[in-house]
Amino acid sequence: MTMFERPPRYTVKNMLPVVFVLLTMFVIWYPYVSIHLAKMLQLDQPMETRDPNTFRRGLVETVVSQTLVLMMFICYWCCVFTEPGTTPDDPEWLPDNAKQMDRPFLNEVKQTTGRRRHCKWCGRWKPDRCHHCRLCRCCVLKMDHHCPWIMNCVGYHNHKYFFLTVLYSCMACLFITISMVEAVQRSRNTDVQLKERFFVVFSMTISLFMGFLLTGFLAFHTWLAFHEKTTIEFCEKVLIRGHTSVYDLGIWRNLHTLFGPNPLFWLLPMSPPVGNGVHHSTATFVAYNPQTAKLKGVRSRASSEGEAKLSGSRGNGASSASAQTRRSAPPSPTRRQTREAIVQPPAPCLPLAPPQIWDEVEGDAAVGAVSSADSPDRGATAPSTKTEEEAIAAAASPEWTHFPSQANGLDDPAA
């Protein structure tokens, strides 16, 4: 099996967590139905001798609990057998595509080089919010995380089913725990078999433990859904103070992105979100320009070589004059100032400039400075420094609309 082939999915190793989840469901569900609900519905008594109040409460608990369990099982099934989505086979994602017209609209680039993200394992360009899963051996669209309990990755096409599975699992466990308190008290006050008492207490304990864990897990994923973030994006940017996701369109539109266009079907395993998972709408963007925004590691080789030539051609006097000019020039705007100055209304994803444009434009800036210094008309005069307003205006140029991202944390470092 080569690195580009996906491993077999239905193996004993992969299916063990799924079997464990199904077994846990059965351990909680069977004692609850056969002991608690059977006693509440009084199935061992004739209809004429049954207590109407107890029967009515048992009927309500049966409908609610079995509806939650059924929805949980359906969502779990959809979550396991729905592919999260991977990079399409379109020519725009193939590395041998050099046509400018076929370049996609992207917001995320390599942090170290400022160029398109590429997966060396799949041999394709990466769309926004796409990451390579080393267990599934493929790139997953809008990857949240790889979940062994569903034997699958949580991505764009099954994220809704995963969220609903956690939601209905949490609600079912909490409802079963609360309603089984009466069965536990009844087993203590009446003379029942030891086996029945054990299963009632054991089922309630497992349900309480699972409900406690799922409550925290549901709260975390609800917060992520409100802010339109994935688990990977949260782990990458949690240490950045005041970080706001560029894909955050507001709570209402974020829920539309996750659950689909029709709010009536948000809590049902149908009406998936609209889109292909490749392009994502953004609320703001950062117009990147090497002359106005200093991002760590994003400096081209042409710019560095041009600065070296410039410093060597001026000599000591010119270098001191240039240093004095730089000290007296107004400071360049920071990344946050540039972001606040260039925020525009909600718009679709922005075009990513070709990789060679970075080197060409930055190199032209450096070479232009060298030519001005070597010009016989100007001599060794220092190049003019742009003011802050001119720098921000230059950053707003349409061909410099980039959003450098750190969306490479869980990928292969060399990818």
Q: Annotated catalytic sites, by residue?
A: 147
Q: Is residue 83 within 8 Å of 154, Cβ to Cβ?
A: no
Length of the chain, please?
A: 415
Q: 């107890």: which residue's tokens?
A: 54
Three-state SS letters, the chain:
CCCCCCCCCCCHHHHHHHHHHHHHHHHHHHHHHHHHHHHHHCCCCCHHHCCHHHHHHHHHHHHHHHHHHHHHHHHHHHHHHCCCCECCCCHHHCCCCCCHHHCCECCCCCCCCCCCCEECCCCEECCCCCEEECCCCEEECCCCEEECCCCEEECCCCHHHHHHHHHHHHHHHHHHHHHCHHHHHHHHHCCCCHHHHHHHHHHHHHHHHHHHHHHHHHHHHHHHHHCCCCHHHHHHHCCCCCCCCCCCCCHHHHHHHHHCCCHHHCCCCCCCCCCCCCCCCECCCCECCCCCCCCCCCCCHHHHHHHHHHHHHHHHHHHHHHHHHHHHCCCCCCHHHHHHHCCCCCECCCECCCHHHHHHHHHHHHHHHHHHHHCCCCCCCCCCCCCHHHHHHHHCCHHHECCCCCCCCCCCCCC
CA separation, residue 362 to residues 215, 302, 368 (Å): 51, 7, 10
Half-sphere exposure of 343 (CA within 13 A, CB side): 9
CA separation, residue 293 to residues 143, 290, 345, 370 (Å): 29, 5, 21, 22
Q: Residue 6 burial (CB < 10 Å; 0-12/13-18/19+)? A: exposed
Half-sphere exposure of 126 (CA within 13 A, CB side): 30
